[in-house]
Chain A
Amino acid sequence: MKLITHNMLTSNIIKGVKNGFPLKIIASKVEEKEVDFNPEFTARMIPKIDWQALRQAAADLGKPNSLPEAVADQYEENVDFLKQTHHVLMELEVIEGELVCPESGRKFPVSNGIPNMLLKEDEV
């Protein structure tokens, strides 16, 4: 699971949960996979990203200082900033671990890089 995906995921599917974002990541295996840098795509994604959640996610993966505190001004032209963001969004992958609902503590397993967001019958 890439952090761009994590940034979009919530646990609001659980019955009664209202603020299931961001999910806390407990990772037992993280991989860095090189993905071709595409500045246009990265710049396009930035307005959709919850920046603080992304920083927290990077910290959860043991990379606390990989992003600046806030989105850079005129980030479209700031190649260094776009590269940093690209790295965190697209290249850090949770292979094994768990995503934890911030409200209920419910855990969603990630195995083989694929999160399992299915619920049990009494949770939906």
Chain B
Amino acid sequence: MSAPMVNSCVNSMKSILIHFAHEHVDFRLAELASILKLFKITTCLPDQNGFSPFLKLDLPSLDCAQQIASRAVLIKSVYELWAQGKTHKELNESLSKLPAKFLDPYITSGDTYKFQVTSFNKKIPPKRKLEIIENLPHEVLAFEGRVDLKNHQHAYHIIEDYGSNMGKPTKEPEQVFFAKWIADGQRDKINEFHLQKRHFIANTSMDAALSMIMANLAKVGPNMVVLDPFVGSGSLLVSAAAKGAYVMGTDIDYLLLHAKSRPSRCNMKKRQSDESVYSNLHQYGLEKHFLDVLVADASKPHMWREQTFYDAIITDPPYGIREGAKKIDFNPTLSLTDEQRNGGTHIAQRTEYHLSDIFRDLLNFAARYLHVNGRLVYWFPVQLHTYAEGNIPSHPCLRLVHNCEQKLNSKVGRRLITMEKVCEFNDDMQDAKLAVDHFQEASFRDMYFSESSVLKEKLTQARSRPLKSAPQNDLEVNKRPQNDLELNKQPQNDLELCKQPQNDLVESRRDFSEDGVNDKLSQLNLK
């Protein structure tokens, strides 16, 4: 542990310390691995890094570290690791052993610099920080340049790790690093692309951080073509276009794509006419990366010419909770007049699109239309205690690369699945298969709503409500009189809600969020 970190290995690899952000822990290594692939950087990554936000990595050059930082959302900073120890004493010993050949260029350069104390899992008071800096072996780190706290050319960090005690800080740091700062990750982009500032959002727009992580997992890069077959408001396309890709989207929701659906923001009566996927890209100056959006049924892949057109497919299919999954089914008995057929007066009836079918269709589509080495990245909702790896669909053309879990509550979650096309598709191939259908017993919607006893109770209440309930009998309405008004204004909604009590719940939960009450569903952007 106390051996010098630099130049100790015979090869010219650089010792890099990665400081991850402490969120989406299950996604951090997957994101890093995908970025390494994207830039064709070869190095050894561990299979697991646990909860620790620190990861040591050998990279061929410091440029590689820059490249990683230029993409990673889940990395706070990347450093060149100079020394480490279990205690400050060990660290200092290790620093003293740094070879002069390595140190001299920094010592004699005359560049301005600063020392900075960073800590994980504990706040260090300024006095202690000063102490740590004063106790460094300054006879070794005798930089000739002057200290400049604002405009320095180099920042040397002393990083204390108080982690690993299940969230509680340990008394003394478990490990201490001395590292030279190279670059910060893309944390600031999360704010820049925050949904609150987005012109066009839908009920289940993906938050900025996860959208960017998806683009990284899909290895999205300049001049690629990316498709989202359940595009909605296009949040995933925004993050893909920000990486230089050209983006295309389809959705079955005509009203949404034409900005005529119910608005998703509170205090908004109707959508503005220019709310579109295009305007979302335009907002960030990415409009030149917009190809098209189409109103189309994702269950009908033959809409596209037989041609491997896409470099990546990233999507978040509707799980049936906040947004229902729909497709158009065959009905031979339909008889339409020409007027109805061509005049647009007949709207095709949409039927439930079963989640398992969505995923099978998605894999079959990806196998056919992705380039070899292209990636398919999608969310797969799961009930935590029944989920097994066999629930993830498979296809002979596609290899499962990453499978990251995001818990939504104690019972349900969703997994971000990354698959890579590994061979050319041919028509003799078997279709996508499911070893075990996760949604066979119950839809994800039923799983979700059967999980909470509070919700169950509400559900029973809603079901037992008489068809034409007077508003004063309505529990929900009594709690929030402003809804009373709304219900009175739109009695037909009331009726509909009574007929479909589950919808009622979703609706009322959304209202909670509009009232500013903390709403889990909207917080988590559950579809």
Contacts and interface: CB of A to CB of B under 8 A. Distances in A.
Given A2-B291, A111-B258, A118 B304 contact: no
B309 to A, nearest CB: 6
A121 B329 contact: yes
Contact of B302 (A12, A112, A115): A12
A36 interface: yes
Contact of B305 (A9, A38, A124): A9
A40 B246 CA distance: 12
B39 interface: no
Interface in A67-124: 107, 109, 111-122, 124
Interface of chain B, helix or strand or loop or mixed? loop
Contact of A1 (B292, B331, B332): B292
Given A10-B302, A116-B254, A121-B329, A4 B344 contact: no
Given A44-B223, A121-B330, A10 B305 contact: yes
B298 to A, nearest CB: 11
A120 B304 contact: no
Contact of A114 (B248, B295, B349): B295
Interface of B: 222-223, 225, 246, 248, 250, 252, 254, 257-258, 287-288, 291-297, 300, 302-305, 307-309, 328-336, 341-342, 344, 346, 348-349
A4 B292 CA distance: 9
A13 B303 contact: yes
A120 B341 contact: yes
B334 A10 contact: no
Given A9-B305, A10-B305, 16 more contacts: A1-B294, A5-B248, A5-B291, A8-B305, A10-B302, A11-B303, A15-B330, A21-B305, A112-B258, A113-B292, A117-B296, A117-B297, A117-B303, A120-B346, A121-B349, A124-B329
18 contacts: A7-B305, A9-B294, A10-B302, A10-B305, A13-B300, A41-B246, A114-B258, A114-B295, A115-B292, A115-B294, A115-B296, A117-B300, A117-B303, A118-B254, A119-B328, A121-B329, A121-B334, A124-B328
A121 B300 contact: no
Contacts of B222: 40
A13 B334 CA distance: 18
A48 B300 contact: no
Interface residues of A, number: 37
Interface in A1-46: 1-2, 4-5, 7-13, 15, 21, 35-36, 38, 40-41, 44-45
A60 interface: no
B157 to A, nearest CB: 38
A115 to B, nearest CB: 5
Question: Main SS of the interface on chain A?
Answer: loop
B302 A4 contact: no
Given A8-B307, A112-B258, A122-B331, A117 B294 contact: yes
A109 B344 contact: yes
A12 B307 CA distance: 14
Interface of A: 1-2, 4-5, 7-13, 15, 21, 35-36, 38, 40-41, 44-45, 48, 50, 107, 109, 111-122, 124
B345 to A, nearest CB: 11
A114 B248 CA distance: 12
Nearest to A40: B223
Contacts of B328: 118-121, 124
B228 to A, nearest CB: 14
Contacts of B348: 118-121
Given A8-B307, A41-B246, A120 B291 contact: no
A117 to B, nearest CB: 4
Contacts of A2: 291-292
A114 B246 contact: no
Given A21-B305, A120-B334, A115 B248 contact: no
Given A41-B246, A109-B344, A119-B348, A114 B294 contact: yes
B299 to A, nearest CB: 9
B286 to A, nearest CB: 11
